[in-house]
Structure 1
Amino acid sequence: MLREDDISLAYLKARVVYIIVFFTVIILGISSRVLTDVIPIFVSRHFGDIFWASMVYFGCRILLLKQRLMVSVYLSVLFSFTIEFSQLYQAEWINSIRSTVLGALILGRGFLSVDLIRYMVGIVFSYVMDYFWISHVKEKH
């Protein structure tokens, strides 16, 4: 039987793993935008948004560790789609935020329907990886 201390330690270890994955995905996403001369054009065009949505998913997992995986999927889709559709709103105050590097990374610049597909790919891929990682960890214990 698992003690409360063992469960708390397991959640702490899982959270650390999610944090490492979260920052790794950020590095990969930024790299896909910066290293455009070195990587294939398909990767530089599509993977930034895929990694962005993956980062959102793993951010949800960090915050909602005790929730079912699908809660993170739903919230990630909701958040990502909300950000994308917010790009249809072009008021001066929000465009000034979007004109900064951080603002553009978080809020984007202009609505592209293909981004919704990219977000879904990133979230589904992250969910599948997460599901198999959790299954593997459960098998070991």
Structure 2
Amino acid sequence: MFSDSEIPFDVIQAYLETHYHVHGRAPTTLQVGEANALLAALHETAGVACSAFLTACNPFSQQLEPPRNLELQEALAESLQQRGLRFIGGIGQHPANGWPGEESFLVLGLALDDAKALGTQLGQNAIVWSGADATPKLLLLR
């Protein structure tokens, strides 16, 4: 499925196992390949058919110092606001591998091509995107 990617298999496996926690009034945890009723409700309430869970932290899975990741996330938040996009804070956290959680955003209504382009611009290996079925999918970007 992911055999043509430049990303090492163990990194892809970690992305597949990560819990993508969405904060806000209706907190939920997204997992790749599992339909999420709360995400479907968020889509419906927001009047959108899709969303993307993405981060600016640790581009290309190269661990940065926390202050630098904070700067990158703040710049992403500003960019999303300037584009008029609605988003909810969150964190991507693997349940067991010790990699620090990455502050993230669930961006409501971010179309697939736009989500991929933004993830690429942020230097990310992958993003998690959900369509109308509210089932998060891992999309590799390299």
TM-score band, normalised by shorter chain? 0.3 to 0.5
TM-score, length-scaled by structure 1: 0.32
TM-score by length of 2: 0.32
Higher strand share: 2
Which one has a larger percent helix, Structure 1 or Structure 2?
A: 1
Greater gyration radius: 1
Structure with the bigger RCO (C-alpha within 8 Å, sep 6+) is 2
